[in-house]
Amino acid sequence: MDAYEREHIEIPTPDPIEAIRFRMDQEGLTTKDLLPIFKTRARASEVMAKKRRLNLPMIRRLHARLSIPIECLVSDYKLKRAGAGRSKHR
């Protein structure tokens, strides 16, 4: 059964940001704990809010620090548009 499932059922790769949040929850970490990875609070906040993409150095540091598979961290994910939910007309 396991062999059949591995061969015929594709398990989607998790969203990189959700994987980071999951690992943070497992280890009891906060965004502040990830400053060595993201370098600034603003960048950490933007990445975790999906307003900025992970870059290669961040991916390498996340993999080393949180043991999240590289395959997951390089997966594509949608960014939230700037100003989403705001009206253009005031």
Interatomic CA distance for residues 19 and 5, integer angstroms: 23
Determine contact, residues 17/37, Cβ cutoff 8 Å: no
Backbone angles phi, psi at 63, to 5 degrees: -60, -45
* Residue with token string 């080393």: 64
Q: What is the pLDDT of residue 4?
A: 75
Determine contact, residues 53/79, Cβ cutoff 8 Å: yes
Domain boundaries, the chain: 11-73
Q: What is the pLDDT of residue 83?
A: 59
* Residue with token string 């994910």: 77
Please list the ranges in the chain whose pLDDT falls under 70.
5-6, 82-90
Q: Rounded to whole angstroms, what are the CA distances from 28 to 7, 10, 21, 25, 64?
A: 35, 30, 10, 5, 17
Q: Is 11-73 a CATH 3.30.110.70 domain?
A: no
